[in-house]
Amino acid sequence: MFLNSTNVDKHKFFQEYCKFIPNLPETEKTLIRCFMSSMNQKETAKLIGVTQGAVSSRMRRAQERLTFMKEMSQFDLSTLDHDITEILDKYTIKLIHRTAQKSLQKKDLILEVIKGMIETTSQTETARRLNSVFNLTGHDQMNQIKVKHRYETVLNLLGRIKDQNPRYEEYYRLLSLVKHNLYKLHEVRLPRFER
């Protein structure tokens, strides 16, 4: 269902996405309100002071975010901490390098990488949060590359073991979805993840 289309059933759209709209950035919420009040793109552009092309682009981005949030809501994250910790306990040798076991390489940090990426879909924001939470500095400081490496290491591990447990398959699908939608939630706040 594309917001740029003139033949979208607004009632169906609202029913499908209403619980996710409050999580959008203000500019995208404004576009949705204009759409719901039957304003066309040209009228919306004039109202908010941007070009019609900008309205079209922002509407597409809002639609992508709403679709992604809806897909994410399908996953049961109530046992995420427990399940990922269990996976890391079983397969920790494959995840942690043979170098010294610094705080950077501990399972709790890897778990926070996974949670941070699910919450923000942003490697940069996840690194910033980890540096703050774990008080990481210097060589131990996290960055996009280190977050990506740890995240993809867990994703690859899940890809190898997903047939062993239906929950592993679900986490593999979840982490793959996040990987293919990087930065979709960059400006979005999801209440269930707020710390």
Range of the domain at 25: 10-72
Structure tokens at 134: 């774990």
Question: What is the pLDDT, as a whole number, of residue 4?
Answer: 52
> What do you get for the CA distance between the two ends of the chain, in Å?
33
Does 152 lie in the same domain as 92?
yes
Last residue within a domain, chosen from 29, 44, 72: 72
Size (the chain), residues: 195
Residues 6+ apart with CB under 8 A from 132: none
Low-confidence residues of the chain: pLDDT under 50: 1, 94-95, 97-104, 192-195
Structure tokens at 95: 């995840």
The pTM (predicted TM-score) of the whole model is 0.82
Exposed/middle/buried for residue 7 (C-beta within 10 Å: 0-12, 13-18, 19+): exposed
Does 86 lie in the same domain as 54?
no
Last residue within a domain, chosen from 52, 72, 92: 72
Question: What is the pLDDT, as a whole number, of residue 3?
Answer: 55
Cβ–Cβ < 8 Å for 95, 154: yes
Percent of the chain with pLDDT over 90: 71
Residue 41 lies in a domain: yes
Helix H segments across the chain?
A: 10-17, 26-36, 41-48, 52-72, 80-95, 107-120, 123-133, 144-161, 166-179
Residue 100 lies in a domain: yes
Structure tokens at 170: 């679900």
**What's the domain count of the chain?**
2
Question: What is the pLDDT, as a whole number, of residue 10?
Answer: 83
Q: For the segment 10-38, what is each residue's pLDDT rounded down to a tens digit? A: 888 888 999 999 999 999 999 999 999 99
